[in-house]
Amino acid sequence: MSKAILTIASKNYGSWSLRGWLLCKMAGIDFEEHHVGTDDPSTRAELLLLSPSFLVPRLTHDTLRVWDTLAIVEYLHELYPEAGLLPSDRAQRAHCRSICGEMHSGFSNLRSALPMNIKARFPGFKAWAGARGDIDRITTIWRECIEAYEGPYLFGAAPCAADAMYAPVCTRFLTYDVAVDPVSTQYCRTIMALPLMHEWIAAAKVEPDELEELDVEF
């Protein structure tokens, strides 16, 4: 079987690319990274939040192409159930799918007001009211999961698909100096301390600044 290929966009700006990359790493699949430049029209539209269709990340595996992040979750879970991308318990698995789906289809105000930008820092940034509602909902999800499954990750002792889906939010909270409750603050620290996150962030920091529209001063 040929080696899998994960096609991703910018590591600094690409929140969906980060999710797909984390999922593949967590599953333990052996893959090569292929990068689509920010001069590609479809990639640029996605990063600038102008396109509702996310064509990256895209996993190419054994002649198959899987390009939606939730589809990648399900595909990898079928191949490697032992990796624990989804919980083994049926009720927990349904809960995990629900909050992954909410992240996948929701929080548009947060996306537009706080675009992912790992290299940037905006101390004292004031999120507008619409984004604040998204922030409150996300932190409610985090607190409920950690209370129910005892942390430190959303579904217990090990990271899973839900943590991959919400990891880019943690980077946004750091970039834009978003103050949240103590449980959510600790959760963000736990995610940012993952070796996989360190690996991604190190690569993002040396990436050329190619998308000036996302480097504006807020």
Do 63 and 98 belong to one domain? no
The DSSP secondary-structure symbol of 153 reads: B
User: Is 32 strand, coil or helix?
Assistant: strand
Of 17, 51, 83, the residue that ends a domain is: 83
Do 61 and 118 belong to one domain? no
64: in domain:
yes
The answer to whether the CB of 134 falls within 8 A of the CB of 109 is yes
Q: How far apart are CA 60 and CA 5, in angstroms?
A: 5
Per-residue pLDDT, 208: 82
Range of 112's domain? 90-201
Do 163 and 187 belong to one domain? yes
Of 83, 105, 133, the residue that ends a domain is: 83
Q: How many helices (H) and strands (E) does the chain have?
A: 9, 4
Per-residue pLDDT, 42: 56
Entry pTM: 0.91
62: in domain:
yes
Do 76 and 96 belong to one domain? no
Kindly give the confidence (pLDDT) of every residue in the chain, 218 residues in length, as a single tens digit, with 9 standing for 90 and above: 568 999 998 899 999 999 999 999 999 999 999 988 766 655 555 555 544 455 789 999 988 999 999 999 999 999 999 999 999 999 999 999 999 999 999 999 999 899 999 999 999 999 888 899 999 999 999 999 999 999 999 999 999 999 999 999 999 999 999 999 999 999 999 999 999 999 999 999 998 876 555 543 32
**What is the separation, in whole angstroms, between the first and last Cα of the chain?**
48
Do 106 and 79 belong to one domain? no
User: Six-digit token pair at 103?
Assistant: 């992240």
DSSP string covering 177-190? T----HHHHHHHHH
List Cα–Cα distances, 58 to 6, 8, 69, 213, in angstroms: 6, 7, 8, 24
Q: What is the count of structural domains for the chain? A: 2
